[in-house]
Structure 1
Amino acid sequence: MGLFIIGDVHGCLYTYIKLMEHWDPKTETLIQLGDLIDRGNHSSQCIKLAFELQSTFKDQAIFLRGNHEQMMIEYLNETNNHLNWLNNGGVETLQEFKQKEVDPFFYLGWIKSLPLTWHNDHVMVSHAGFSVMSEDPFDVRDTNGLLWNRKPLLNIGKTQVIGHTPRLNGKPEYSAASNSWNIDTGAYRNICLTGIRMRKDGKFLEAISVPTDERDLTKEKVF
């Protein structure tokens, strides 16, 4: 099976659906690298769609945890710095859940089960990547860990695929030094959502970018 890896969706449901039209479940494993929620207009529906896709396709549809899912978990569990989410899109996301009559607690167990990585012998996918500065990359509170890192990446001997830090030119970026791809192309910034197609041995095949659908954003949420 090949790989089809999608970057940060951030509530951009209609853009997400358009990009998903390029996924072939017969020949590819789908991997979404976190941050399904916040910023865009349709966080609850993005969660619902991901939940249903994984329920239908099982191991062929993989969803990872991003820092925004982590903030949501901490808010709903009232743990650690749980109020941080409200300042990072959580207020609007909660309002949207309420408006759509979707109970976020219904999906909480599933969100908490989302892994931090997907990998095989050649490819490592995570939200923010293995940093040169992280003492424990799997610590969900480590600012240089797999959920929060914005520092240069380590070359770990596999092709890393990450998101988290938007490429404002709308193009996925490859770093030869770390053998890594950043595929966050700023969907919530009204740029585009990107997926990359790879062979399971890490060979890059193509990038597919879909411009952000205007229904996914309001002017106030683009910054």
Structure 2
Amino acid sequence: MDTTSEAYPIVCRHAANTAGRDFVVGDLHGCVDALRYLLREIVFDPACDRLFSVGDLIDRGSQSEQALALLDKPWFFPVLGNHEEALCLVAEGSMRRSAWDALGGDWARSVPDRTLRAYAKRLRTLPLVRVVGSGPRRFNVLHAEFFGDDAMLDVGFFPERVRQQVLWGRELALGSGIVERQAGLSPTYCGHTPMREIGRIGAQIFIDTGAFAATGKLTVTEALTSRAWSVSVEQALLEGASQMSLP
């Protein structure tokens, strides 16, 4: 059972999956057709498998509202990404629409304010971090980056500077972060910074492969294994993904 003691958790803990498999998907960015295809490829079983997400479900791609509908799926476990944060800030009146447009949020221009506020209310319940399992079988999921060990992550109280880094940071991906600051951190899946292929830096495994870009693709990996699957939106559509149903 997935439980949390807070209404708006920073860290949400999940028991190890002893019945099925755990997967992690990179930044979706409204590319739901690519996800449909990949779930078929991995023979995803919603009765026992789980899909964790590193966030950024929305913006840039053409299916942001379909991506938000994934929040209703009992097998789907996302963390908050910086693009969801932008939606919330706009809905709450703390960010200008034009700033969100620059991030790819122009799809929401046609969304009624009432609906946008409802999305924001739902997104504000997402954690910044998900911790799955314990001991050597533990892995973490967050959006951008984290410097510290598991114990620091487990405290569940982040100063604003750390919160911003978890949502927006790129030091590690751009080579300016100190890898040694991740000593004692379990394998941690993240996105935010697009990579050509899945790559690991220190404890962090970067799985955003630019699904929304013309030359990009969406990637799903089976947690704590080397198995990964990727597809471009174009290829997924050629394979009939738009006609595939989600679990």
Name structure 2 gaps, 5 residues minimum.
1-16, 149-155, 173-178, 238-247
Quick check: 1:20 aligned with 2:39?
yes
Of 117, 123, 138, which residue of structure 1 is paired with 2:139? 123
Quick check: 1:78 aligned with 2:79?
no
- Alpha-carbon shift at residue 129 of structure 1 (Å): 1.8
Counterpart in 2 of 1:220?
none
Q: Where do residues 166-177 of structure 1 align in structure 2 (5 Å cutoff)?
A: 166-167=194-195, 169=196, 171-175=197-201
Aligned residues of 1:70 and 1:140 also touching (Cα < 8 A): no
Rg (Cα) greater in structure? 2
Quick check: 1:10 aligned with 2:29?
yes
Counterpart amino acid of 2:79? L
SS of residue paired to 1:196: strand
CA-to-aligned-CA distance 1:180-213 (integer Å, 9 cap, x gap) = 2100000011211001102xxxx31401112223
Counterpart in 1 of 2:219?
194
Give the TM-score normalised by the residue count of structure 1. Answer: 0.77
Quick check: 1:165 aligned with 2:193?
yes
- CA 1:27–1:9: 2 relative to 1, 3 Å: same
Counterpart in 1 of 2:117?
105
Aligned residues of 1:15 and 1:211 also touching (Cα < 8 A): yes
- Alpha-carbon shift at residue 28 of structure 1 (Å): 2.3
- CA 1:139–1:73: 2 relative to 1, 3 Å: farther
Identity %: 27
Counterpart in 2 of 1:46?
67
- CA 1:209–1:138: 2 relative to 1, 3 Å: farther
Of 91, 95, 102, which residue of structure 1 is paired with 2:109? 95
CA-to-aligned-CA distance 1:67-95 (integer Å, 9 cap, x gap) = 000011001101267753232112x2213
Counterpart in 2 of 1:184?
208
- Alpha-carbon shift at residue 138 of structure 1 (Å): 3.7
- Alpha-carbon shift at residue 113 of structure 1 (Å): 0.7
Aligned residues of 1:44 and 1:102 also touching (Cα < 8 A): no
Counterpart amino acid of 1:76? A
Of 141, 144, 150, which residue of structure 1 is paired with 2:170? 150
Residues of 2 paired with 1:146 and 1:137: CA distance? 12
- Alpha-carbon shift at residue 215 of structure 1 (Å): 9.1
Aligned residues of 1:162 and 1:180 also touching (Cα < 8 A): yes
Aligned residues of 1:41 and 1:96 also touching (Cα < 8 A): no
Give the TM-score normalised by the residue count of structure 2. Answer: 0.70
Quick check: 1:35 aligned with 2:56?
yes
Aligned residues of 2:92 and 2:117 also touching (Cα < 8 A): no
Residues of 2 paired with 1:155 and 1:38: CA distance? 34
- CA 1:138–1:69: 2 relative to 1, 3 Å: farther
